[in-house]
Amino acid sequence: MAVDGVPFQDMANLQNGTWIQSENNSEYYKGFSQFFPVSKMISVYPSESDVSWADILHLVPPKGYQRYYYSYANNTVVGKSGLSDISELAEYEKSMNWRLEGIIEHLSCFLFPQNSFTDELKTIEDKFFATDDAPIFYAYVISTDDIQHMGGNVLPLLRQLDQMLARVQARYRELIGEKLEIALISDHGNNHSFPGIRVGVEEFLVNHGYKIADKLNDINDVVIPTSGIMNVFKVYADKGHIAPLASELSSLEGVDLITFQLDNAINEVYILKPDGQMAVVHKKTGTDLFSYKAIKGDPLNYQSVLDKLKDANLLQEKNYAHAQDWLQYTIDEYYPMAPERIIRGHQETVLNPSPLIVSLKNGYEHVDPWTKRMSQIVTTGGTHGALDKYSSNGILMTNFSPTQNTSTDRLWKQLGKLPSLHDYHLDQAGIEVVSGELLAKSARNDFIKQEKYVSLFSHQKDGVVHFWFPELKDSPENWKIKIQISDDDELILSKVFSKQKKNRDLVVGAEGVDFYYPLQRILQRRLKSNMKLYFDVTIDNDETQTSIPTFNLETNENSKVVVF
């Protein structure tokens, strides 16, 4: 069970026993006694849901830190501020056996989080007992995060969760005669700091000569994509302006620290505090070695950590230490696992990483315009996203095995690599456009890494059409696919492929469900700038005909189909 945003300290308090305040009374409660002691699960940086869950489940890195993000390939912000995160399902949500869907349902979680949580638990319980074809059932609960964003207390919800899990376990033993094994995971924490002070970063930058924009067309343009209420924000700007921009932003009220990466720097990120303290973190290429070196002062207050690593003979030349040792020796620090998390946050965890990330002090927050308007109607509360322990410390606990303190990218090793994760491609036919580079990162498409496909996909950075038909899962022998691509004026391409014909352009996946079409190689002479394309794909097999809803795509100024 993935419980979004449950902080480590709240769960630890519940297991040890604590007072739970409600509207009318307070109650002493000691819960989750059927579980082993909770462990810390250190989030990615920034400590936000989309990147954290993708890291936990070892999915392909998302395009942005949130579903409203800046795209380098498009040179524009993609999505809708404040709405994309509740109107579009991320891959980790699709990979769950149950998750909340729909804009109205998500808005209800913010407006009526207690009622929504009760509905979520009931639906999960009913869905679980109605599911008999999944050896592992994955459920995702979002109300636990939403109630904290709205200034509510998550402890009553966790008490309700404890009681629900006890009931489910008892019913399962009665029906099956065996123990139901349960793992609880959260993706980050929450600072419980509200009401927060809104940082006026847009006004601040305009007063310093910058222009807030959706594209980077001028050296003074700055893009700050934010969705929701966060105590972190990501900045995209002209690569030559990153260092001076970081220096100027350090004087903004509410800033805790800034991490930034200079142009063409690989495995090297600087840390800057408002008082001028500065350090640099490095990763040694091809290893799990990370270093922290103070330049002025000690912005992370890590000198005692370095001393302990040195005393244990774990600190190598130039302050390098293995990632696992950084985890062990910084787990209780204010900035846990900072060297590794900072490097990964700027380079690895998303496809469009920011060169400059601002982590705010507790009590300060950055809000998108849509959420700002909504917050005039309802009370808002705590948040997350920053580098500190309050935002970063999530949970890992089970009722079948003791757990150890871990991080998002390591967690799955303790749970048997999360087997039987739900494959949403088998729910219904669908289509997407990705890059060959991105396909190579997908564990689901290991066959693409075979030698005969390397040359076909390795250079397809501007578009491979991937479509899938679960109808072929049990009858992949005979099929005929028709692909039509048109624009507003005419039919550009019409192709028919079949099982019997040799398919020079179409690559069929290992199970006969997935199909890959190297779009750019076929269409490059027919594409124009800023062109809207419409894809119609239909498949016939011996029994049925299935069509995928028309899929739209646009080209950029260079007449290329843009992927992310």
**Distance (Å, whole) CA 522 – CA 456:** 12
**Distance (Å, whole) CA 279 – CA 295:** 5
Residue 65 · residue 347 · CB < 8 Å? no
pLDDT band at 303 (very low <50, low <70, confident <90, very high): very high
Q: Where are the domains of the chain?
A: 2-192+386-414, 197-374, 426-554
Protein fold of 2-192+386-414? Alkaline Phosphatase, subunit A (3.40.720)
Average pLDDT of the segment spanning 30-38: 97
Q: What is the pLDDT of residue 476?
A: 62
Residue 246 · residue 257 · CB < 8 Å? no
Contacts of 174 (CB under 8 A, 6+ apart): none
pLDDT at 185 over 60: yes
**Distance (Å, whole) CA 362 – CA 391:** 9
DSSP category for residue 37: P
Average pLDDT of the segment spanning 339-346: 97
pLDDT at 172 over 60: yes
Average pLDDT of the segment spanning 211-221: 95
What Cα–Cα distance (Å) separates residue 247 from each residue in 45, 252, 258, 269? Answer: 21, 10, 9, 14
Strands of 107-254 (E only): list them: 140-141, 183-185, 197-198, 211-212, 221-223, 229-230, 232-237
pLDDT at 386 over 60: yes
**Distance (Å, whole) CA 148 – CA 231:** 14
Q: What is the pLDDT of residue 480?
A: 85
Q: What is the pLDDT of residue 208?
A: 95
CA angle 124, 112, 378 (to 5 degrees): 150
Higher pLDDT, 376 or 311: 311
Handedness of CA 346, 349, 351, 354 (dihedral sign): negative
Tell me whether the CATH fold assigned to 2-192+386-414 matches the one assigned to 426-554.
no
H/E segment holding residue 295: strand 289-296
Q: What is the pLDDT of residue 284?
A: 96
Average pLDDT of the chain to the nearest whole number: 87
pLDDT band at 557 (very low <50, low <70, confident <90, very high): low
A 10 A CB-CB count for 144 gives 25
**Span 426-554: which CATH code?**
2.60.40.10
Handedness of CA 347, 348, 354, 358 (dihedral sign): negative
272-296 pLDDT tens trace? 999 999 999 999 999 999 999 999 9
CA angle 528, 533, 539 (to 5 degrees): 135
Average pLDDT of the segment spanning 533-545: 81
Q: What is the pLDDT of residue 61?
A: 86
Q: What is the pLDDT of residue 189?
A: 97
Window from 78-92, 182-196, 370-384, 385-399 with minimum mean pLDDT: 370-384
429-452 pLDDT tens trace? 888 777 666 666 555 555 555 555
pLDDT at 370 over 70: no
pLDDT at 563 over 60: no
Which residue(s) pair with 561 in the sheet?
Answer: 555
Q: What is the pLDDT of residue 84?
A: 64
pLDDT band at 305 (very low <50, low <70, confident <90, very high): very high
Average pLDDT of the segment spanning 408-413: 91
User: Ranked by mean pLDDT, which of 82-91, 210-219, 378-387 comes out on top?
Assistant: 210-219
pLDDT at 522 over 90: no
Residue 30 · residue 20 · CB < 8 Å? no
H/E segment holding residue 157: helix 155-176
Q: What is the pLDDT of residue 244?
A: 96
pLDDT at 319 over 90: yes
Average pLDDT of the segment spanning 384-409: 97
Contacts of 504 (CB under 8 A, 6+ apart): none
CA angle 322, 325, 329 (to 5 degrees): 145
pLDDT at 456 over 60: no
Window from 104-108, 125-129, 175-179, 552-556 with minimum mean pLDDT: 552-556
pLDDT at 391 over 90: yes
pLDDT at 322 over 80: yes
pLDDT at 119 over 70: yes
| Three-state secondary structure call for residue 407 | strand
H/E segment holding residue 365: strand 364-367
Higher pLDDT, 265 or 564: 265
pLDDT band at 373 (very low <50, low <70, confident <90, very high): low
pLDDT band at 561 (very low <50, low <70, confident <90, very high): low
Q: What is the pLDDT of residue 556?
A: 66
pLDDT band at 485 (very low <50, low <70, confident <90, very high): confident
H/E segment holding residue 8: helix 8-16
Q: What is the pLDDT of residue 458?
A: 52
What Cα–Cα distance (Å) separates residue 557 from each residue in 75, 221, 529, 560, 563? Answer: 10, 19, 5, 8, 14
pLDDT at 358 over 70: yes
pLDDT band at 349 (very low <50, low <70, confident <90, very high): very high
**Distance (Å, whole) CA 187 – CA 536:** 38
